[in-house]
Amino acid sequence: MTGNRSEIYLLRELLELVNNNDEKLYDLHFGNLIKYQLQREGRSVNWFALQMNSDRSNMYKLLNRSHLDSSFLIRASILLRHDFFRDATEYLKTLNGNDGDLGHDDK
């Protein structure tokens, strides 16, 4: 892996180590992706919570989760103008060797 220390640190923050038997896998951490996007836009978690009709403490709890439901991700994608589903798709492509084939049979 190439990149400077901050890129490597960011990658570790956005991914979560998941143990699957003896195999080490990384899982996309959606809460960290959203926090990263908020930081890039200069927005606070408090602002995000208000926009999402929530309170700050509940939002911090949500954003500490790696897995978030799809309706939450849709709302966050619209609000932050960032496609978190594309992030997931790109991550899946890396798991499949960057060939872009996600195993769909388009017949």
- pLDDT of amino acid 26: 64
Q: Are 33 and 73 in contact (CB under 8 A)?
A: no
In this structure, what are the phi and psi dihedrals at residue 21, rounded to the nearest 5 degrees? 55, -125
Average pLDDT over residues 3-13: 57
Distance (Å, rounded) from C-alpha 14 to C-alpha 42? 18
Q: Are 92 and 100 in contact (CB under 8 A)?
A: no
pLDDT confidence band for 89 (50 / 70 / 90): confident
Sign of the dihedral defined by the CA atoms of residues 34, 89, 7, 61, in that order: positive
Average pLDDT over residues 66-75: 93
Encode pLDDT of 10-53 as tens digits.
Answer: 666 666 655 555 555 567 789 989 999 999 999 999 999 999 99
Q: Please give the distance of CA 72 from its chain centroid, rounded to a whole number.
A: 12
More confident call, 104 vs 29: 29
What pTM did the predictor assign? Answer: 0.71
Q: Is the pLDDT at 85 greater than 50, yes or no?
A: yes
In 3D, which of 66, 1, 2, 71 has the Cα closest to residue 34?
66
